[in-house]
């Protein structure tokens, strides 16, 4: 019987609808990916078989000209389900997996053997234009892994890691709540309208700003959640996690204990709900752990 556990179904959905959208950042800000995709109109479809919870999502990549002719005008977006032809007769790269476990092996596998589920899709699409461009873009998700720790001598890599990670984790926390993940539901249900805000200072080199401030937030209101980008402007944050620069944020993303990070000045907690910051961090780490290989988990 091909039936994934509830935990694996949740993890797979978080990959499809929280991790995948984070690819927009290198796609639009990393010059090598901007160049690779500027002339590509392409759909990449992911599908995992399961007797109870079959999963499917597709990513649409459009040139600037084609995107301008659509209602939304977006060059990249992730959609639920298989591609239905909504953007015309585009080339479709189909990444199909025999099970959800096989799909997760690609993203969370600890060994090359666990990642073999991608082989049939590689063989099927190897000569399709744009396939290897997409594979390299997908590999950029590895920047969010705990063992990816760029130093201050790699400012662009630090900027990408922090921005991708914060966008992904806030989206994943919101998505997990919507999917009924019990720890998130229990944590959010009693809370009034609250903003949990991340703010990361700009990247400076010799006193000059080379990459801008990064902001992301999670809005919580009586069991409902919404992830957002930038700084929430309509009300003060209930909890503000303020990092002086990306280097301080990477310390927490890479596993430094939260209280220790506060003591060392990696992060400052601001707001009326500072006592909630630790539980917020616990929930954040719980969701992150569902998206990383088990070798990174503390046993």
Dump pLDDT digits (tens) for 48-97.
Answer: 999 999 999 999 999 999 998 887 789 999 999 999 999 988 999 999 99
pLDDT digits (tens, 9 = 90+) for 240-286: 999 999 999 998 888 888 888 888 888 999 987 778 888 999 999 99
Which tokens in the block code for residue 135?
């594979």
pLDDT for the residue numbered 299: 52
Statement: the pTM of the whole predicted model exceeds 0.85: yes
CA 282 to chain centre: 18
Instruction: Record the tokens describing residue 129, joined without a space.
Output: 């234009």
**What's the CA gap between 293 and 15, in Å, rounded?**
13
Query: Whole-angstrom Cα distance, residue 250 to residue 243?
Result: 10
pLDDT (tens digit, 9 = 90+) per residue, 168-222?
Answer: 999 999 999 999 999 999 999 999 999 999 999 999 988 899 999 999 999 999 9
**What is the C-alpha separation between 49 and 3, in angstroms, rounded?**
9
CA 239, CA 275: separation in Å to the nearest integer? 9
**Cα(177)–Cα(219) distance, integer angstroms:** 12
Per DSSP, 98 falls in state S
Is the CB of residue 208 less than 8 Å from the CB of residue 245? no
Note the pLDDT tens digit of each residue in 123-148. 999 999 999 999 999 999 999 999 99
Which of 229, 208, 209, 210 shows the shortest CA–CA distance to 218? 229
For the chain, state the CA radius of gyration.
Answer: 19
* Count, residues in the chain: 299
What is the CATH number assigned to the segment(s) 155-296? 3.30.1050.10
Cα distances (angstroms) measured from residue 284 to each of 2, 177, 186, 210 = 30, 12, 14, 29
Distance CA 122, CA 115 (A): 12
- What is the rounded CA–CA span in Å between residue 274 and residue 269? 6
């Amino acid at each position: 019987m091909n039936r994934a556990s509830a935990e694996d179904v949740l993890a797979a959905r978080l990959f499809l609808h929280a991790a995948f959208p984070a690819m927009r950042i290198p796609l639009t800000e990393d010059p090598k990916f901007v160049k690779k995709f500027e002339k590509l109109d392409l759909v990449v479809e992911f599908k995992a078989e399961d007797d109870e919870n079959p999963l499917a999502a597709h990513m649409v990549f459009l040139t600037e000209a084609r995107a301008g002719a659509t209602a939304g005008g977006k060059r990249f977006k992730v959609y639920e389900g298989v591609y239905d032809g909504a953007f015309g007769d585009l080339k479709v790269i189909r990444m199909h997996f025999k099970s959800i476990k096989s799909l997760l092996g690609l993203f969370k596998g600890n060994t090359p053997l666990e990642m073999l589920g991608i082989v049939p899709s590689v063989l099927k699409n190897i000569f399709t234009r744009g396939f290897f461009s997409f594979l390299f873009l997908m590999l950029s998700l590895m920047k969010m892994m705990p063992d990816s720790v760029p130093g201050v001598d790699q400012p662009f890599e630090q900027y990408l890691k922090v921005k991708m990670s914060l966008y992904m984790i806030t989206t994943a926390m919101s998505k997990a709540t919507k999917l009924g993940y019990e720890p998130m539901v229990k944590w959010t249900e009693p809370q009034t309208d609250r903003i949990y805000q991340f703010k990361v200072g700009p990247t400076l080199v010799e006193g000059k700003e080379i990459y801008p401030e990064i902001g992301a937030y999670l809005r919580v209101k009586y069991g409902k959640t919404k992830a957002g980008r930038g700084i929430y402007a309509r009300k003060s944050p209930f909890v503000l996690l303020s990092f002086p620069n990306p280097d301080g944020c990477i310390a927490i993303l890479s596993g430094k204990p939260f209280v220790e990070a506060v003591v060392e000045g990696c992060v400052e907690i601001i707001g009326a709900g500072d006592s909630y910051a630790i539980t917020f961090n616990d929930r954040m780490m719980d969701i992150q752990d569902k998206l990383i290989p088990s070798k990174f988990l503390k046993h």
